[in-house]
Structure 1
């Protein structure tokens, strides 16, 4: 229920700055989506493993998205009660004198810090670092990247006055304030229990002498800053409009999709090109795994966090299989777009019979990152026989995605009682039913569009007093958009208990094979084989989230 107040405006704008797309979304104060505008942005991949993005262009794209939203919503400037911003996580956005960029941003896709990650992860200090942050060390993180910069190109850090993330850079341009949020601050340089920076983490990364680069930590549900006059003019909005700094996009997406509702914690999986699996928990309930993988990311609710595990490749496994079918179907000269085959997945699945054909979905050239990290992990079928046909392979890939999801939740301690689902793949009935059986929990699909922008806008709604608490806001913004729970087939759940044991046993048995093959030891005359392209070699080292 909306709290009555004397604030002006009936619209909240949520900005979601993704890796490839910048979105600005208009919501009513009670969560109805009115309009969206999106601008395609760009990043550059290099042969050295770099992945960079222009800070100046990112801010220009944000302005364009906001102006375009103004073209879609009458009197947007006058009606806007608040603006909220979230964006792609990790990465390093360095800012120097007069708030000017220090080079291009290193994105979460950047792999150049791989040698530094390997070195730091072998040190004894990485265990207390992991216990403080709850987050496994990998190449996409700002801490790893800054440690690598400090060792290889210290002039970048010497020129910088502050190290920001993507959303922080936009917040700086909107308000003139250098700040970050508790989620990225704690999983990168801090402690998820205190939501503050932690000297143990800075020492483990060898960055204590760079402490001055860390910005103020700002809780966006409690504090906002006014839109500057210059930025208001550039964006087509009113100066003085309150601006809220949201949490990192993964948490905002989970919040908008239902990782918490009705005052209760839940689990949320986004099944897209990658699979992101999150459980909302009290801090005291977090269970860190021995493999030191995953993330613990604060939620904008007191003493609540999300524990996260993420598969490197999810629906890209289905894309690969459908592309094989499209290639065969087009051999007579007709071009077949594999995306046209996506609606047939459920029909193929229905033609198959449950069996013991097992697929490990490690199709990404970067290997796997959750719940284990192995850059050399590779996909494969186990148990093929002469009776298997294409529908059986479709079923096996779908079940492989479900088993990988189960693997991730198992690494967090206990399976969820209910699983909320978002992402385009949630439209597949076969996938929903298979996930429910694999995890042993009912599935509910969020009908909420633009969940990331919605999560940030929800924070702004609390910050300006439209709602008394985040749980009150969730009651209007999230709960009504959750579909009916789809029950678990208990017979299938028992079958998945058996499949999961084999899935795990096969994976462990294959790890030494993957490692040998990556070194050429698994091939005859390995010395005569050509070296892989540099792009492939650097990609295999990545472990981004």
Structure 2
């Protein structure tokens, strides 16, 4: 038996696979997000307890010994712990927006662009650079009390094994030089964090390993830490050939393209270059802030149940009867394929004749347009795999195929957990049939007529987005000017 653990933003999951890659069992537990005034935090003890609970439940039903376990989880944010791996304060989520004013200032200077050219990572409010800089200014005692500023899965790994480490994928945002695969001192200096460099965990290349000390899995179980959820899903979906891509329709709408070319000079600074377990290969990632979370908000607001989505999509025509959604719902704005901390969602074309189906379809179309934008920016040229909770809707999958104008290789099950197992197997020298483990379960083909219709819709989406970005930049400039004049607008919870 092989166990994969995926510590997600709102759900902790653990899955058991047999030697052929067949998923034989899965356990999950929800974990809470504390969202208030632009702050988004999580209770580390609650997250760790959920991990232990799902592992203990799985272990009690195993029919054979555990060969190894792999760990993955949400990226970014800051998880401050002491020497024993215990929390110093609540974890700050990747969805957090408290550092947006700081990022505004960096974007108005040369800091933002210069960090991207050095690391290949475009910072956003919830990534460790801005969050640590914000804490250094507003909560220095929390940093003084901490031993390590970890990422989510690394916190869990230290509690399970006692090993303090991160991996090259998590370290990619935003402190790692992707050429040397080591922390970049110049980046730390530009962010004003040189005096906090000791908080960064040692980088295991490619992943750290240890043995569990309990509870959860049997003591002594071999376990590997990483990569984090985006590259783990790429491994679990078999996306390793340059040009091939993966779309993850989850809480975060993530677009990844495998590449063996590292270009840090061209194009708009956005997304990131994730270092992988294979030297000389990266994932060009465009992880948009909001995917299924945007649809969930619309469903809650309209009173539509998840099981009604497919019927509403089938009953509503492409174009949603003129309703349009720019799906930028995150409190911290957007980070891919551009960075606009003040960008917000927009709903237009609504009248008294608008139906719930129009609102749902317009939201699904807006998210699909955002996915196309991200995949084009990431350089997709080959096959495209798709996974995530959104793939449970057949009608939405067909819509994605039509908007993207290409076939979708659907990979079902706990893809991140599967990728974590494959990374652990490679690290421990266990030979698994990767092709069999990553075989797609279905292929969804686009409809040529609808694809042509959505090509025109995509152009209109980009035009509306350009106007919205202009308004967001004007607001940011006005906020900086007001602050300079002593207006005192802190913005959010700053």
Structure 2 equivalent of residue 171 of structure 1: 157
Structure 2 equivalent of residue 309 of structure 1: 286
1:40-59 maps to which residues of 2 (within 5 A)? 40-47=30-37, 49-59=38-48
Give the alignment's TM-score, normalised by structure 2: 0.86
Alignment partner of 1:296 is 2:280: no
Give the alignment's TM-score, normalised by structure 1: 0.78
Structure 2 equivalent of residue 113 of structure 1: 99
Structure 1 equivalent of residue 483 of structure 2: none
Distance 1:474 1:147 in 2: 41
| Alpha-carbon distance change, 157 to 316 in structure 1, aligned in 2, over 3 angstroms | closer
Is the CA contact 1:219–1:245 (under 8 Å) kept in the aligned structure 2?
A: no
Is the CA contact 2:290–2:329 (under 8 Å) kept in the aligned structure 1?
A: yes
Alignment partner of 1:237 is 2:218: yes
Is the CA contact 2:21–2:437 (under 8 Å) kept in the aligned structure 1?
A: yes
Structure 2 equivalent of residue 463 of structure 1: 427
RMSD: 3.3
Alignment partner of 1:225 is 2:205: no
Match of 2:146 among 151, 160, 169: 160
Deviation at 1:101, TM superposition (A): 3.2
Structure 1: 5+ residue stretches without partners: 1-10, 327-336, 522-533
1:265-284 maps to which residues of 2 (within 5 A)? 265-284=243-262
Alignment partner of 1:61 is 2:50: yes
Deviation at 1:457, TM superposition (A): 0.8
Is the CA contact 2:327–2:366 (under 8 Å) kept in the aligned structure 1?
A: no
Alignment partner of 1:191 is 2:177: yes
| Alpha-carbon distance change, 154 to 498 in structure 1, aligned in 2, over 3 angstroms | same
SS in 1 for 2:68: strand
Structure 1 equivalent of residue 484 of structure 2: none
Is the CA contact 2:289–2:330 (under 8 Å) kept in the aligned structure 1?
A: no
Is the CA contact 2:343–2:468 (under 8 Å) kept in the aligned structure 1?
A: no
Is the CA contact 1:186–1:196 (under 8 Å) kept in the aligned structure 2?
A: no
Compare 15-24 and 426-435 and name the one that shifted more: 426-435
1:76-475 maps to which residues of 2 (within 5 A)? 79-220=65-206, 224-227=209-212, 231-232=213-214, 234-239=215-220, 241-260=221-240, 263=241, 265-284=243-262, 289-290=267-268, 292-319=269-296, 326=303, 338-349=305-316, 352=317, 357=322, 359-362=324-327, 364=329, 366=331, 367-372=333-338, 373-381=340-348, 395-412=361-378, 414-447=379-412, 449-467=413-431, 473-475=433-435
Distance 1:518 1:205 in 2: 20
Deviation at 1:374, TM superposition (A): 4.9
Deviation at 1:378, TM superposition (A): 2.8
Structure 2: 5+ residue stretches without partners: 480-489
Paired residues, number:
482
Structure 2 equivalent of residue 499 of structure 1: 457
Distance 2:27 2:400 in 1: 33
Is the CA contact 1:311–1:371 (under 8 Å) kept in the aligned structure 2?
A: yes
| Alpha-carbon distance change, 513 to 66 in structure 1, aligned in 2, over 3 angstroms | closer
Is the CA contact 1:313–1:361 (under 8 Å) kept in the aligned structure 2?
A: no
| Alpha-carbon distance change, 404 to 105 in structure 1, aligned in 2, over 3 angstroms | closer
